[in-house]
């Protein structure tokens, strides 16, 4: 049986992406065969599709770190044919062929049930970005950050993780301050729940010294580099900042003063190797009390497999606001 997939190939001049016909036998045997209904576009997908060896080592390869669909075959584990499942993280879309295909075959341990009441398309509108956002918010709550302590900062607020964070935090009653380098997003961020929007350059200029004015009870950084440093410098005493991205830079260059003089916390967030039971808990929260009020506002676009390549270029250039969902045939 053949199926359609987007495949990244390495050539003498770089990397190309094209639609191909593959055979189910190429996916191997065992585990769980899932017929994919929807996927989504993440920054990591764009890195994989453009040959970043830190993400994907061997080509040809099918990107797509997110997938939702229906079990077609299950040789082991708790799932049965017809079950609706979500797959995010682990090795999917990295060195295991991913969600930009009509079928994936993965270990049962990588799958979580699609929560009752959550539509498959909405699951991918959230996707890895939504899961990472939920984990970031949970990390802040676990350290005692609450709305009474003051505003919470979100950097990279127009990206997938940042925009979902704005929506979740606002729903939980936080005063959300969003940082963005885009000039035409104020109304959109306000509709998601941001109480205030700060220009990226102005924010960075306010934190050039080793320590900045104490302003934030907590922060969610989705960018890394100087943005993360600026967020840490402006935390209130005992405040916490989460770190989940490196689109700005993987480096963190700052002094230890905020840590030893204000007792602030830097919390790493990983949604890839997270135990499946925790993923399931987070997905249940996203499907229920943490579901963004205006979920449709998170959508940048819907595309099919043929249109993914254009969106890959745009997300690498920082030209995507919110989330792109991918509809499978």
Angle 236-232-90 from CA coordinates, rounded to 5°: 125
Cis peptide before 132 (omega within 30 of 0): no
Helical residues (DSSP H) of 5-56, grouped into ranges: 43-49
Could you read off the pLDDT tens digit of each residue along the chain, which spans 329 residues? 899 999 999 999 999 999 999 999 999 999 999 999 999 999 999 999 999 999 999 999 999 999 999 999 998 789 999 999 999 999 999 999 999 999 999 999 999 999 999 999 999 999 999 999 999 999 999 999 999 999 999 999 999 999 999 999 999 999 999 999 887 899 999 999 999 999 999 999 999 999 999 999 999 999 999 999 999 999 999 999 999 999 889 999 999 999 999 999 999 999 999 999 999 999 999 999 999 988 889 988 999 999 999 999 999 988 888 899 999 98
Helix pair angle (276-287, 120-142), 10° resolution: 110
Which pLDDT does position 76 carry in this prediction?
77
Which pLDDT does position 32 carry in this prediction?
97
In DSSP notation, 273-297 reads S--HHHHHHHHHHHHTTTS-TTGGG
Range 128-268 has CATH code 3.40.50.720: yes
Closest CA to 102 of 5, 243, 7: 5
CA atoms within 13 A on the CB side of 235: 29
Residue 329 gets which letter from DSSP? -
Residue 110 gets which letter from DSSP? G
Residue 101 gets which letter from DSSP? B
Distance of CA 270 to CAs 227, 258, 265, 302, Å?
19, 23, 16, 26
Which pLDDT does position 320 carry in this prediction?
87
Q: Where in the chain is the domain with CATH 3.90.180.10?
A: 2-114+296-327
CB 321 within 8 A of CB 300: yes
Give the separation between CA 70 and CA 263, rounded to whole angstroms: 47
Domain 2-114+296-327 CATH (choose: 3.40.50.300, 1.10.1370.30, 3.30.70.260, 3.90.180.10): 3.90.180.10
Give the separation between CA 182 and CA 311, rounded to whole angstroms: 18
Helix pair angle (120-142, 160-171), 10° resolution: 70
Which pLDDT does position 100 carry in this prediction?
98
Q: Where in the chain is the domain with CATH 3.40.50.720?
A: 128-268
Closest CA to 232 of 250, 256, 249, 251: 256
pTM of this structure: 0.93
CA 250, 251, 256, 262 torsion-angle sign:
negative
Mean pLDDT for the chain? Answer: 95
């Amino acid at each position: 049986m053949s199926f359609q997939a987007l495949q990244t190939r390495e050539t003498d001049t770089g990397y190309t992406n094209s639609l191909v016909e593959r055979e189910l036998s190429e996916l191997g045997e065992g585990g769980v065969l899932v017929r994919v209904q929807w996927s989504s576009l993440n920054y990591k997908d764009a890195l994989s599709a453009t040959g970043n060896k830190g993400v994907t080592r061997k080509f040809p390869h099918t990107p797509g770190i997110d997938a939702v669909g229906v079990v077609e075959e299950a040789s082991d584990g708790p799932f049965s044919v017809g079950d609706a499942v979500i797959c995010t993280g682990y090795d999917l879309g990295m060195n295991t062929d991913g969600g930009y295909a009509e079928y994936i075959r993965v270990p049962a341990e990588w799958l979580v049930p699609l929560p009752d009441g959550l539509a498959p398309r909405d699951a991918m509108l959230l996707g890895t970005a939504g899961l990472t956002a939920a984990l970031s918010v949970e990390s802040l709550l676990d350290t005692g950050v609450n709305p009474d302590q003051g505003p919470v900062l979100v950097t990279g607020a127009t990206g997938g993780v940042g925009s979902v964070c704005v929506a979740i935090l606002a729903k939980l009653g936080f005063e959300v301050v969003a940082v963005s380098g885009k000039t035409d997003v104020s109304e959109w961020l306000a509709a998601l729940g941001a109480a205030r929007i700060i220009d990226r350059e102005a924010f960075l200029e306010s934190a050039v010294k080793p320590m900045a004015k104490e302003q934030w009870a907590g922060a969610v950084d989705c960018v890394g580099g100087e943005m993360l440093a600026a967020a840490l410098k402006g935390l209130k005493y005992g405040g916490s900042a989460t770190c989940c991205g490196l689109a700005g830079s993987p480096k963190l260059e700052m002094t230890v003063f905020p840590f030893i003089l204000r007792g602030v916390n830097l919390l790493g967030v990983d949604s890839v190797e997270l135990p499946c039971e925790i993923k399931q808990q987070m997905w249940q929260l996203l499907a229920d009390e943490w579901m963004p009020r205006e979920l449709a506002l998170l959508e940048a676009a819907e595309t099919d497999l043929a249109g993914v390549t254009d969106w890959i270029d745009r997300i690498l250039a920082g030209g995507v606001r919110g989330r792109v969902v991918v509809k499978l045939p």
